Structure formats: C-alpha cells, structure tokens
Amino acid sequence: MTIKSVSALVLDELAIFEFGVICEVFGIDRSADGVPNFDFKVCGPEAGKPLRTSVGATIIPDHGLDDLVGADLVAIPAIGGSDYLPEALEAIKAAADSGSIILTVCSGAFVAGAAGLLDNRPCTTHWMHADDLARQYPTAKVDRNVLFVDDGNLITSAGTAAGIDACLHLVRRELGSEVTNKIARRMVVPPQRDGGQRQYIDQPIPVRCSERFAPHLDWILANLDQPHTVASLADRAHMSGRTFARRFVEETGRTPMQWVTDQRVLYARTLLEETDLDVDRIAERSGFGTATLLRHHFRRIIGVTPSDYRRRFCCTGSDDEAAATA
C-alpha cells in the first residue's frame, strides 16, 4: 500500500505536540525536495467548529468525521479524557474496516482502544499510561518497553517524540528510504536516542556540528570502507588523539568509533534497501570487513538481522531474492 491520503483526527483536549508531529511529517508541502505531497485533512466532529486543546488554545478542523473513512492513513494524536464521541469512534472503526492504516501517538492508543482496534493486538503508549491501557483493554498486548509497535494496519507509539519514530517508520515502510531521509533531514531528527531504543530513522550529522568540524565528518562518511582509528582520524585532523576524541564527543554526542560504527550500519542499511549486493559485499563497502561483524553491529543497533531487514524494506526484487542475498 502506498500512502497518498492522510486524515488526522482532532477532538476536545487535543495535545498540541503530538498533533504537530503528525502535521510535520504528513501535512507539509515538501515537493520541492522531491517528496510526494499527501492529501492531508484535519478532521473533527464538525467542520469549522472550534475544539479545545490541552494548553488553552483552540483548533478549528476543516473537515468532518466522514473524511476519516477512505483515507489511506488515519492518524490519532494524544487526546485527553476518556469520554470520546461515539460518532468519532464509529468513524475510526469504519476507516479501519475499509482498509485504512491506523496510527496513534501517545495516548491516542486509548481512542483506538475505545474503537475496538486493540483487541488481541500488540500495542504501546506512553509509559505513564501503559498500565491504564492494559487495565482498560485487557485483551490488548501492551508492550511498555518500545518506542512503537508495527502490527501491519495498526501502528501505536509511545510518548511525545516516539511519535516521530513511528511516523517515519511508516513512511519508510510504505514509501521507501529516500522519501523518509528527506523528511527526516528537514525535521532535523536527533542523531541518537538515549537508552538503546531501536528505531528505523536516519541519524544525520548533528545540526550543532561546527563549520570547522563538519569537513572531518564529511570525509569519514565518504570513506567508510577504509579502516579508521581514533589515532588515524586525529592525525588527519591535525590534533592529538585526546583533543580529537574530546572535540568529537562535543560535536556529535558520540565517541569517534561509536559514530563511525553508527554511520557504517546506516550505510549498510541503505545498501540492503536499494541494492541486491550480498551481505559480504555490503560488509566490505560499509567498512565492517566481514559479514559476521556487520551482522553483530546491525542487530545491536537496528534490532533485527540484515536478512530480516532486507525482507521488510528491500525495493529491488522479491522477498525470496532479498532473503537469498542477505
């Protein structure tokens, strides 16, 4: 399925940030960057009728609930309270039944649950609300330890910025890495999330990187296949090893070798998506040298094996062909 139309649900007590995440990913015209425009609609109980947000402002949807049904994607941001309009729940259920993907951000999972969409399905929400979600919907399989859960036509995400991860994951799944990369760069997605969370978003060069230091990172990215050590990189930058390592952490938030490994994994991921190279050749091109080392770091950072990743995201051939090369 290719996402062309996106309808975002808004109700009273709407959370602005989570709604903004959906708007940022799907509602902005990025056609100048080569990103296809989505037919984006903001849908409420009544078109033109103001709704309260959680911060004392109001929002006026241009469309009614009927425009949820038939959309390729129905996105539900965090919405406070628990007394959801029956008409809204019926529209969400009708959209799901007609083939729409349902995506929730943070406590938006409760709205999906009220519409009957979480029964016997894996899902997540903000860690503060996970126990409540499990109590209210006892057949839901609530995972408290992940950023998002992809269950095909239902994607649920944890709190706040985890919605970005879920949205970008969905774009990558449906539209490929090139579109996702362009959106992520415009959004200036942070290069690394703390806590070892696994996610399918790009890790661009940090925006705070100084103009003086950026060429060093550019050179590394252009030469990932070469062997690198802190000493060799420091020598090329005309710094002592200690000074270079300190500056590198200040600029990127990662040690030099952590950053190099991250970028090698990301490059390997792109090769898995966009080429039919076997895993040994990808290991060489990305600088890991051996398939064993690539598999180790790929699984540690991405959370799946290269072959599993290629089966899911490869766009050069059939699943069988992809699996055979990885």
Encoded amino acid at 75, one letter: A
Put simply, whether the predicted model's pTM sits higher than 0.75 gets the answer: no
Residue 210 confidence class, pLDDT cut points 50, 70, 90: confident
**Mean of the pLDDT values across residues 281-289?**
96
pLDDT reading at 197 higher than 50 = no
* Under 8 Å between Cβ of 151 and 121: yes
Q: What domains sit in the chain, N to C, each tagged with a CATH number?
A: 5-195 (3.40.50.880), 205-326 (1.10.10.60)
CB atoms within 10 A of CB 145: 10
Whole-number Å distance between alpha carbons of 110 and 130? 10
Sorting pLDDT into bands at 50, 70 and 90, what band is 21? very high
Residue 12 has pLDDT above 70, yes or no: yes
The closest alpha carbon to 313, from 271, 261, 284, 285, belongs to 271
| pLDDT for residue 141 | 94
Q: pLDDT for 94-107, tens place per residue?
A: 999 999 999 999 99
Query: Which residue matches tokens 């609530």?
Result: 142
302 pLDDT tier (thresholds 50, 70, 90)? confident
* pLDDT above 70 as % of the chain: 89
d(CA 191, CA 197): 12
Average pLDDT over residues 169-181: 84
- Per-residue DSSP letters for 49-90? --EEBTTS-EE--SB-GGGGTT-SEEEE--B-SS---HHHHH
**Averaged confidence pLDDT in the chain:** 87
Q: How large a percentage of the chain has pLDDT more than 90?
A: 63
pLDDT tens profile 28-67: 999 998 899 999 999 999 999 999 999 989 999 999 999 9
- 234-242 contacts at long range (C-beta below 8 A, 24 or more positions apart): none
Average pLDDT of 209-215? Answer: 80
Round the CA-based radius of gyration of the chain to a whole number and report it.
Answer: 22
pLDDT band at 220 (very low <50, low <70, confident <90, very high): very high
- Return the pLDDT at 274: 85
Confidence of residue 207 (pLDDT cuts 50, 70, 90): very low
Say how far apart CA 39 and CA 47 lie, in whole Å.
17
